[in-house]
């Protein structure tokens, strides 16, 4: 299912800014200058949610009154689809299979983080939801919290809705818990000496491990776990902690490979491992180019 669409018309055709204003609004604003400078050149949009259009209703819908969900288009859209599609297709290539033959769990772990369950080449769940705030603990985003946290902070701290949302989006996650940085490369330098840094890394790794296990349960089976994104591609501790939690699923991690696979592609599991694990550096720009080529061929 291609994720690129040719963009026609003007700004009035777009109504999605409210779902991800930090991303969508800036992308839309560039259209008018592009059309002015390149009037005869087709412009394509590659959507981060497109790969997740196959998520079934039982996974996509929230347990709220359906009339409100329909009225306001409230559902779990999922994000990082460009990256997750690349990870799937690259894994299929190295495994000598078609994407439609693959049942995998892919991780995109960077300043923004998500996990996707893929069944027969199609996304059936992604940890992000209506917005990119839902799901895993991230660099500056809280990920999942009790919704009652928002009115509590509004009452007790006299915060506005916008202030609470800024807190959850920009002042939480690894940055807040560690009190140091959102960059795990920096945090690992203080991992043994700073208890807050160690706690932040354990919280982060635990949430990834819990989610990956849940997604393999959702699949009912699975052949591979794919580590992608800057954190997953170079943080040995995170990969080891997540992988060791999947022993009962048949994953046997190759500890030598875990030490040496830094920002390079390779198999993280042993050859005899029932459940495979791979490190695949994600290439979103390459995937975007690929999607545009597919769109031009339609």
Active site residues: 48
β-pairing, 44-46 with 224-228? unpaired
- For 181, counting Cβ atoms within 10 Å of its Cβ (0-12 exposed, 13-18 middle, 19+ buried), the class is middle
Rounded Cα distance, 108 and 120, in Å: 19
Name the H helices within 126-254: 149-156, 161-170, 173-178, 184-189, 195-219, 230-234, 236-244
Query: 287 near 86, Cβ under 8 Å?
Result: yes
Alpha-carbon gap, residue 205 to 213, rounded angstroms: 12
Residues 6+ apart with CB under 8 A from 291: 2, 3, 4, 44, 46, 82
Instruction: To the nearest 10°, report the CA torsion of 185, 186, 190, 191.
Output: -30
Beta-sheet strand order (sheet of 104-109): 122-126, 113-119, 104-109, 224-228, 276-279, 266-267
């Amino acid at each position: 299912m291609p994720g690129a669409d040719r963009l026609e018309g003007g700004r009035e055709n777009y109504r999605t800014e409210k779902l991800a204003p930090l991303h969508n609004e800036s992308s839309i604003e560039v259209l008018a200058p592009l059309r002015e400078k390149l009037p005869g050149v087709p412009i394509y949009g590659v959507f981060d949610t497109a790969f997740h259009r196959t998520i079934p209703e039982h996974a996509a819908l929230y347990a709220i009154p359906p009339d409100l969900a329909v009225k306001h288009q409230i559902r779990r859209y999922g994000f990082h689809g460009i990256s997750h599609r690349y990870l799937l297709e690259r894994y299929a290539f190295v495994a000598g299979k078609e994407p439609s033959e693959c049942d995998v769990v892919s991780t995109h772990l960077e300043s923004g983080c998500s996990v996707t369950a893929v069944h027969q080449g199609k996304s059936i769940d992604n940890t992000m939801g209506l917005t990119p705030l839902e799901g895993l603990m991230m660099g500056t985003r809280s990920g999942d919290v009790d919704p009652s946290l928002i009115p509590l902070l509004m009452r007790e701290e006299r915060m506005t809705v916008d202030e609470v949302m800024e807190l959850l989006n920009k002042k939480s996650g690894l940055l807040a818990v560690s009190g140091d940085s959102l960059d795990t490369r920096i945090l690992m330098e203080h991992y043994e000496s700073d208890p807050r840094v160690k706690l932040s890394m354990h919280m982060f790794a635990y949430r990834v491990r819990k989610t990956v296990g849940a997604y393999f349960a959702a699949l009912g089976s699975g052949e591979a776990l794919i580590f992608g994104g800057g954190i997953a591609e170079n943080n040995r501790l995170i990969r080891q902690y997540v992988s060791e939690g999947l022993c009962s699923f048949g994953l046997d991690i190759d500890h030598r490979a875990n030490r040496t696979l830094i920002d390079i592609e390779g198999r993280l599991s042993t050859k005899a491992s029932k459940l495979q694990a791979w490190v695949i550096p994600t290439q979103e720009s390459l995937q975007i180019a690929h999607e545009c080529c597919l769109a031009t061929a339609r």
